[in-house]
Amino acid sequence: MTTAISVQSATRTFGRTTALDRMSFSVASGSILGLLGRNGAGKTTIMSIIAGQDRPTAGRVEVLGGEPFENASVLSQISYVRDNQRYPDDYKLHHVLRIAPDFAPNWDADLAAELAEGFRIPSKTKIKKLSRGQLSSIAIVVGIASRASITLLDEPYLGLDITARALFHEVLIRDYAEHPRTVVLSTHLVEESERLFDQVVIVDRGSVVLDVESDEIQNVAYTVSGTADAVDRVTQGRPVLSTHAVGGLKSATLRGLVDEQVRADARAGGAQLSPVSLQELVAAFGEYEPDATSGVALDGGEPRTPVDSQNGARS
Amino acid sequence: MFTNDSPLFQQIADRIADDIAAGTYPEETAVPSATDFAVFLHMNPATVSKGVNLLVDRGLLYKKRGIGMFVASGARDMLRRARLDEFTQRFVEPLLAEAHVLDIDIDTLHEMISQKVKDHA
């Protein structure tokens, strides 16, 4: 499988703020990547760079084999609608639908019209007067109807109602199945979208903290819960992502697989072991403080080293 | 509907197998396409295909080129036999183990089951 997007140790600083800190991951051609993480983790920054709207301060980002910034042949194959996309003041829906094909060679006008109707986007209202959800709908229409080889969807759900979110999923999958493309989707609504992903990258503080194929998610971490003593017996000497305690009760999310020794330690104190959902995993990685743990590094390496289970396997 | 216990492709395979065993998809008829399943379940088409391929490998589904996936002849029997094998393991063995813990002898156990069967009749 060829690589569509390759982020190689990309760093982006804004003054004293480091938005990206040697971020690395790659996306296989024709796959759907879920780019997850807390606000400020660097999702929008890396998307802007992949889209060629910004450049890394250091490192390299390649899309379809070239650097996208001011690279017309690459840019024509990328569709990216920012979550705060601005339009000219007098623009209405039809202006957007008329100008979009100029930027998207594979534009499908029929699909765009069908989607605009499905999302019930008002056609006579100026775009600057539309609601947050209606703006998101326009971004989705443009994003999907562009049929670009590289489709970047940054928080496409903002303000969308449940019906519109379901429609978005259906349309995306149907069109993706008929016209395969590489999709990068960032979202906080993990539970609703996780079944779409081939690959999941979790970022935090500008770096990749997890990069796995979807099938591997349940092997990444597990939760142990019970009385504080029982839980501590299991966490002792093992890499802890996050803990919660209320009264005498405690739960902890631990990195790694449940093995016989973990099972035995849990049984000894009467603690329960359970699998961790992707949503819980994102939350746990978002809470993880390298300095606050018992000094046991995640995955046995540097605390902030990305846990990379797939480099080489996919490329 | 979906849980975190096993990979999604395994769950989709189990789900289609359940439907074949129940006769929802009769033998020698087509099952919905991977794309239809994917759109309906809001799931990545590659995940669905992976699940469907597990059933192809087990001989439960077969591909008719250009038409789609069909339920193989004998698929239902095959699934029922597999479940019969599991029945002992999943239900009979734990029952006997628990009966042993509680000192319930085999005659009492027979009697309890017979009584339950009468209650349900």
Lowest mean per-residue pLDDT among A63-77, A125-139, B2-16, B64-78: B2-16
What tokens were used for A129?
């007067």
Q: Which of A195, A215, A277 sits opposite B42 (nearest CB)?
A: A195
Look-up of token digits 């889209």 = A51
Nearest to B45 by CA among A274, A267, A195, A19: A195
Digit-coded pLDDT (tens) for B97-107: 999 999 999 99
Which residues between 150 and 189 in chain A have a beta carbon less than 8 angstroms from any beta carbon of chain B? 166, 169-170, 173-174, 176-178
Which residues in A lie closer than 8 A to residue B54 (C-beta atoms)? none
Q: Coil, helix or strand for B107?
A: helix
Q: Is the pLDDT of residue A106 over 80?
A: yes
DSSP codes of every residue in A79-141? EEE-TT----TT--HHHHHHHHHHH-TT--HHHHHHHHHHTT--SSS-GGGS-HHHHHHHHHH
Which residues in A lie closer than 8 A to residue B47 (C-beta atoms)? 195, 198, 214-215
CB pair distance less than 8 Å for B8 and A214: yes
Which pLDDT band, with edges at 50, 70 and 90, does A104 fall under? Answer: very high
CA distances from A84 to A92, A209, B90 (A): 16, 26, 55
CA–CA dist B61, B34 (Å, integer): 13
CB pair distance less than 8 Å for B39 and A276: no
Enter the DSSP assignment of B29.
S
Q: Is the pLDDT of residue A299 over 60?
A: no
CB-based contacts of A268, cutoff 8 Å, min separation 6: A230, A233
What letter represents residue A106's amino acid? Answer: N
Model pLDDT, residue B1: 55
Model pLDDT, residue A79: 95
Which residues in A lie closer than 8 A to residue B7 (C-beta atoms)? 214-215, 218
Nearest to A207 by CA among A62, A28, A24, A36: A24
Domain boundaries, chain A: 3-211, 220-305
CB-based contacts of A58, cutoff 8 Å, min separation 6: A9, A10, A11
Contact A273, A221 (CB under 8 A): no
Q: Does B2 touch chain A (CB under 8 A)?
A: yes
Model pLDDT, residue A244: 92
Angle among Cα A235, A237, A240 to the nearest 5 degrees reads 50
Q: Which of B6, B35, B41 sits opposite A195 (nearest CB)?
A: B41
Instruction: Name the CATH topology of A220-305.
Output: Alpha-Beta Plaits (3.30.70)
Backbone torsions φ then ψ of B101, nearest 5 degrees? -60, -40
Q: Coil, helix or strand for A164?
A: helix
Task: Return mean pLDDT, chain B.
Answer: 91
CA distances from B21 to A15, A310, B11, B54, B78 (A): 63, 36, 15, 16, 9
Backbone torsions φ then ψ of A186, nearest 5 degrees? -105, 140
Q: What value does the mean pLDDT take over residues A257-278? A: 92
CB pair distance less than 8 Å for A177 and B8: no
Query: Which CATH number among 3.30.465.10, 3.40.50.300, 3.40.50.11060, 3.40.50.1370 corresponds to the domain A3-211?
Result: 3.40.50.300
- CB-count exposure of residue B113 (10 Å: 0-12, 13-18, 19+): exposed
Look-up of token digits 């296989």 = A28
CB pair distance less than 8 Å for A177 and B2: no
Distance from CA of B39 to the nearest CA of A (A): 5
Q: Is the pLDDT of residue B38 over 90?
A: yes
Decide the pairing of beta strands A58-63 and A3-14: antiparallel
CB pair distance less than 8 Å for B44 and A195: yes
Q: Coil, helix or strand for B38?
A: helix
Residue of B nearest to A216 (CA): B7
Burial A70-102 (b: 16+ CB within 10 A, else e): eeeebbebbbbbebeeebeeeebbeebbeebee
Burial B3-18 (b: 16+ CB within 10 A, else e): ebeebbbebbbeebbe
Digit-coded pLDDT (tens) for A41-74: 999 999 999 999 999 999 999 999 999 999 999 9
Digit-coded pLDDT (tens) for A194-232: 999 999 999 999 999 999 999 898 889 999 999 999 999
Which pLDDT band, with edges at 50, 70 and 90, does A310 fall under? Answer: very low
Q: Is the pLDDT of residue A155 over 50?
A: yes
Contact A52, A69 (CB under 8 A): yes
Which residues between 189 and 218 in chain A have a beta carbon less than 8 angstroms from any beta carbon of chain B? 192, 195-198, 214-215, 217-218
Share of chain A above pLDDT 90, in %: 82
CB pair distance less than 8 Å for B42 and A177: no
Which residues in B lie closer than 8 A to residue A218 (C-beta atoms)? 4-7
Share of chain A above pLDDT 70, in %: 92
Q: Is the pLDDT of residue A306 over 50?
A: no
Model pLDDT, residue A300: 40
What letter represents residue B83's amino acid? Answer: R
Enter the DSSP assignment of B90.
I
Backbone torsions φ then ψ of A49, nearest 5 degrees? -70, -45
CB pair distance less than 8 Å for A166 and B42: yes
Residue of B nearest to A192 (CA): B42
